[in-house]
Structure 1
């Protein structure tokens, strides 16, 4: 069995598209106005971004421990990603460090979604 897609609800669809294109190299496959965008990572995974209803924007937050994780092959790649993240204007307030058996960077973006970029090397 293989996970092939995920739907992520976001408060700003345009911002989320740019974020995943610029930082994680996702490609936009299809967009339906300001409601939905379909993106692919080039490795068989599809990310569907859905706009949250405006009535939820201010009050809704993902649960504290919810996060999206990405694996990298080397510590250098994690460090380079951290530099890319800062250049993009998403300062994490953290630097990558060894934790739980991996070299890991945690940061929040897109209105509070937690991201993890890790190398188990």
Structure 2
């Protein structure tokens, strides 16, 4: 059975959805003002974003985008840096990976 839907509560739906569109190729399918957005990836995963006023995730909570190569991880890392995000260089851990705090209050892992 495949996971095909996930909801995140975020403090800025618009900024979160724009971030996910720009760096991870999700596509916005529907919005309701600044309080709700439906995004879909190329595998059919539906990610909904809902506005919350006090968004707090546990320190280890994150969503991940697995890339086809270490080079692609490096490219995304550089794009984020060039656009002003604070990201450390990718490193070897359980994979070639780095983390970035996304607009909206959640963390994203990029790995290969």
Shorter-normalised TM range: over 0.9
Query: In 2, distance between residues paired with 1:50 and 1:38?
Result: 9
Contact 2:10 / 2:105 at 8 angstroms: preserved in 1? no
Note the C-alpha offset of 1:20. Answer: 0.6
Matched residue, 2:100: 107
Q: Distance in 2 between matches of 1:112 and 1:32?
A: 20
Q: Deviations over 1:20-64 (max 9, x none)?
A: 111111111000112210001121111101000x3x2xxx42011
Question: 2:93 and 2:64 mapped to 1: Cα distance?
Answer: 14
- 2:26 maps to what in 1? 26
Please give the alpha-carbon distance, in whole angstroms, between the structure 2 residues aligned to 1:10 and 1:2: 24
- Residue in structure 1 matched with residue 85 of structure 2 by the alignment: 90
Q: Is the 8 A contact 2:15 2:104 kept in 1?
A: no
> What residue ranges of structure 2 are gaps of 5+ in the alignment?
none
Aligned-residue RMSD, C-alpha: 1.3
Compared CA separation, residues 13 and 44, structure 1 to 2 (3 A)? same
SS of the equivalent of 1:69 reads strand
Q: Which has the higher contact order (CA 8 A, sep 6+)?
A: 2
Larger Rg: 1
Could you tell me which runs of 5 or more consecutive residues in structure 1 were left unpaired when the two chains were aligned: none
Within-5 A mapping of 1:4-23: 4-23=4-23
Say how many residue pairs are matched: 112
